[in-house]
Chains A and B, each alone.
Chain A
Amino acid sequence: MKTALYLTLLVTSLTQVALAQDEFDFPALPAARYRSGQQVLDAFAPISAQTRNSIVEINVNEDTVALGAVVDASGLVLTKASEIRPGKLTCRLANGKEVEAKLLASDEEEDVALVRVKAEGLKPILWATNTVVEGQWAITPGLADTPQAVGIISTLTHKIQPQRALIGVQWSLFTTQPTVEFPIPGFGAEEAGVKSGDVIVSVDGTSVTNRQQVVEILKTFREGQSVQIRFKREEKEFDTSIKLMLLKFSDDVSLRSGGFDEVIEHDTVLEPWQCGGPLVNLDGRAIGLNIARASRVATYALPASLARQILAKLKSKAANLPSDDR
């Protein structure tokens, strides 16, 4: 007997179920024939042929962090902003060349960045104009002859609530007071010098006496924003400014996976770095821009209409840059 970790699918209860080893001894479908297996992906080759010159792989210090969608023959590319960490930015093209790239502008709200790629012969992605329906193929092409992965459209477009951003403290559970047990390494509180035993006196100018009040006020802040917090240490009080950050729950999902105005949800299983590029239909036209791997069952794409609005905004932002920086 082997015990497999089973999550029963009940929201409120997670139980473990023993699974007999023999159950896995039953014949299985070859992986190449899975929904997104190579034999199935092969059928999508004509779509990849149409789109591969409209896609770039975005590298920071030689690590691939995202895909990008070419939106202008002059080398403008849209991608997922939060994946572009500081470092040397380059792009790999379908012809195998690696070229220099530059971040021009970002839209923090929808997590989209506009990047300039120094290359010629790029083909702008064609945007789809027809409506998206549940059950239609959702194709995530890359630089290869066949797509990265495929799935179907899972829901109609909808809004995604922002994720909770954290200052990064572990509360002391021995008191209802907002007392810090310890600052979580790598988060804003640690950087601001918060120490074990510090007690929060006020948040954003509002006095607080318990943890729940702190949490409620912090809910109104987004990641990247800073919040003024007054602490009491022994008998002295002091003010800090702490930057809020997102907590990464798993390597399987994107760090920034919430707070989008409108998304198309699809069931394609992508690695977080496979986001940022176009999501296309069977005509090879972009129905959206993959913006986050959100959970075991969901990948989000900004719909084409929203992606194009953001593109227009980012282009005008970039036009205001000094000419050397464009």
Chain B
Amino acid sequence: MAVAWSASSWGADSPSSASSLARPFAPHPTRADPKDLPAAFSKNAPSSVADLRAMQDRVSALVSQVSPAVVAVELTNEDGNASGSGVVISADGLVLTAGHVGEWPNHPVTFTFPDGRTAVGKTLGIDEDADTGLMRITEPGPWPHVNVGDMKNAKLGDWALALGHPGGFDAKRSLVVRLGRIIRLMPGVVQTDCTIFPGDSGGPLFDMYGRVIGIHTAITDSTTENFHVSITEFMDTWDELVGRPERPPAYSGLTIMDEGKVCRLTKIDKNSPAARTGLREGDQVLKVNGRHVFASATFERWLAESAAGETLQVEVKRGQKIFDYSIKLQAQPRSPQ
């Protein structure tokens, strides 16, 4: 069975692996079976109008299926406003983009969905050499998302669909869809004749199964020289993207344990950010930043993605009452308190 990569699959993991769960896993590629594709896609070229019709049916269906997860991204850095594209790959809001669209961790980002709705979030990390980037929508989801693929069976001539926002987000036009074929497969880079343009950067290249197989990165003067970072590069640079391991996690002062299906606050450090909030030992943790907490690992992960100075919203249950608290996170203290 293909593993669905969603918020709930985090919660399903055993609490014993909490430390490794502190940062998001690299996505699992969804399996693809050529038997599921119309025969026209595996020919050297379509050979009849019937072939063309079968391709068209598949492509239009894919467009409606994957479009909702494609976003325009906008972030502010020293050079001013930068904008590009991205694609959401998990219900809890992980966004793949190009490294040159992203930034070092914790830059604020605004995401715009094709229907014009926006969400805020931040950068998680980039790898400049591979031109891979990862961002996170920090508002509670669930967000429309797509599956990621692999390049195991990719070959020249495979049909591909490029989506993104050439020239930046335009509310009157919104998302732009382009079709092409794989022209070259290079280590870490895919070339297609899907025409892309500045602003598309970070947008997804899909295979005909609707899986992300690349992220738009560069072009030349020729309309058939469009380059996409291969999805395998994201897997290979994942540790870079989810934040450097040496980065000290932000400090809340909370200790959280799993009790069966309940996630409970078992200890609050003295003089810690949490101690200043009114949270009490024994509180049952329901949500962090508006998202349900199914296990202590979920809490640890949100904490690991946060930086000192940021605020963590915690919703707890005490008896029959629900309380909301904001924890202003600090840098990790030098010695245990």
Q: Which of A15, A40, A295 contacts B45 (CB 8 A)?
A: A40
Q: A180 CA to B142 CA in the complex, in Å?
A: 57
Interface size of A by CB at 8 A reads 54
B60-96 interface with A by 8 A CB criterion: 60-64, 67, 79-84
Q: Whole-angstrom distance between the alpha carbons of A4 and B219 in the complex?
A: 9
Contacts of B202 in A (CB 8 A): 9
Question: Which residues in window 36-67 of B have CB below 8 A to A?
Answer: 44-49, 51-53, 55-56, 59-64, 67
Contact across chains for A40 and B46 when beta carbons are under 8 A apart? yes
CB pair A12 B172 closer than 8 Å: no
Q: A28-B156, A28-B184, A137-B52 are known contacts. Are A37 and B45 too (CB-CB below 8 A)?
A: yes
B6 proximal to A (CB < 8 A): no
**B168 CB–A CB distance under 8 Å:** yes
Q: Are A34 and B181 in contact (CB under 8 A)?
A: yes
Is residue A269 contacting chain B, with contact meaning CB distance below 8 A? yes
Is A8 a contact partner of B100 (Cβ separation < 8 A)? yes
Minimal beta-carbon separation of B193 from chain A (angstroms): 5
Instruction: Kindly state the separation between the CA atoms of A31 and B13 in the bound complex, as whole angstroms.
Output: 48
Considering only CB atoms and an 8 Å cut-off, how many residues of chain B contact the other chain?
A: 70
Q: Are B52 and A7 in contact (CB under 8 A)?
A: no
CA distance A12 to B203 in the complex (A): 16
Interface residues of B in 155-209 (CB under 8 A from A): 156-157, 161, 164, 166-168, 172-186, 189, 191, 193-203
In the complex formed, the residue of B with least CB distance to A16 is: B218
> Given that A35-B193, A154-B176 are known contacts, is A135 also in contact with B49, CB under 8 Å in the complex?
no
Cβ-defined contact, A9 with B45, below 8 A: no
Q: Determine, out of A43-51, A162-170, A200-208, the stretch whose residues face the partner at the interface.
A: A43-51
Q: Taking the complex as formed, is A296 at the interface, i.e. its CB lies under 8 A from any CB of chain B?
A: yes
Write the chain A residue with the least CB distance to B202: A9
Compute how far the CA of A26 lies from the CA of B190 in the bound complex, rounded to whole angstroms. 11
Give chain B residues whose Cβ lies under 8 Å from the Cβ of A36: 193
Given the contacts A23-B189, A33-B44, A136-B60, A10 and B172 also touching, CB distance less than 8 Å: no
Contact: B217 with A9, CB < 8 Å?
yes
Q: Which residues of B contact A267 (CB under 8 A)?
A: 176-179, 194-195
Which residue of chain B has the shortest Cβ distance to A138 in the bound complex? B179
**In the bound complex, CA of A158 to CA of B100 (Å):** 30
Looking across the interface, which residue of chain B has its beta carbon closest to that of A152? B179
Any A CB within 8 A of the CB of B101: yes
- Asked if A135 and B177 make an inter-chain contact with CB atoms under 8 angstroms apart, the answer reads yes
Contact: B219 with A7, CB < 8 Å? yes
Choice from B48, B59, B101, B176 contacting A155 with Cβ under 8 Å: B176
Known: A6-B219, A269-B195. A298 touches B49 (CB 8 A): no
Q: How far apart are B2's CB and chain A's nearest CB, in angstroms? A: 24
- Contact check: which of A23, A39, A133, A154 meets B44 at CB < 8 Å? A39
Query: Are B199 and A23 neighbours in the complex by a CB distance under 8 Å?
Result: no
Contact A298 B44 (CB under 8 A): no
Does any Cβ of B come within 8 Å of A29's Cβ?
yes
A27–B185 Cα gap in the complex (Å)? 8
User: Could you tell me if B219 and A39 are in contact, using CB atoms closer than 8 angstroms?
Assistant: no
B179 partner, pick from A10, A151, A295, beta carbons under 8 A: A151
A137 nearest in chain B by CB position = B56
A298 to B201, CA, bound (A): 16
- Cross-interface CB contact of B198 among A9, A265, A298, cutoff 8 Å: A9
Assess the B79–A12 pair: CB atoms within 8 A: yes
Per-position 1/0 for B225-259, Cβ under 8 A of A: 00000000000000000000000000000000000
Is A11 at the interface (CB under 8 A from chain B)?
Answer: yes
Q: Which residues of B contact A326 (CB under 8 A)?
A: none
* Contact flag A28-B217 (CB < 8 Å), given A11-B199, A34-B224, A42-B45: no
Given A29-B182, A152-B179, A297-B166: A11 and B218 interface contact (C-beta under 8 Å): no
Known A-B contacts A34-B193, A35-B193, A137-B52; the reply to A12 vs B63 at CB < 8 A is no
* B220, CB-defined interface residue at 8 Å: yes
Interface members, chain A 255-281 (any B CB < 8 Å): 265, 267, 269
**Chain A residue with Cβ nearest B62:** A135
A9 vs B101: C-alpha distance when bound (angstroms): 8
Contact with A265, one of B98, B100, B176 (Cβ below 8 angstroms): B176
Q: A155 contacts B220, CB within 8 Å?
A: no
Which residues of chain A have C-beta atoms less than 8 A from B62's C-beta?
135
Contacts of A265 in B (CB 8 A): 173, 176
Known: A8-B218, A15-B100. 10 other contacts (CB 8 A): A9-B101, A10-B98, A11-B199, A33-B44, A36-B193, A46-B49, A269-B195, A269-B223, A282-B49, A296-B223
List residues of chain B with CB under 8 Å of any chain A CB.
Answer: 44-49, 51-53, 55-56, 59-64, 67, 79-84, 98, 100-101, 156-157, 161, 164, 166-168, 172-186, 189, 191, 193-203, 216-221, 223-224
5 contacts between A and B (CB under 8 A): A23-B184, A135-B61, A135-B62, A282-B53, A296-B197
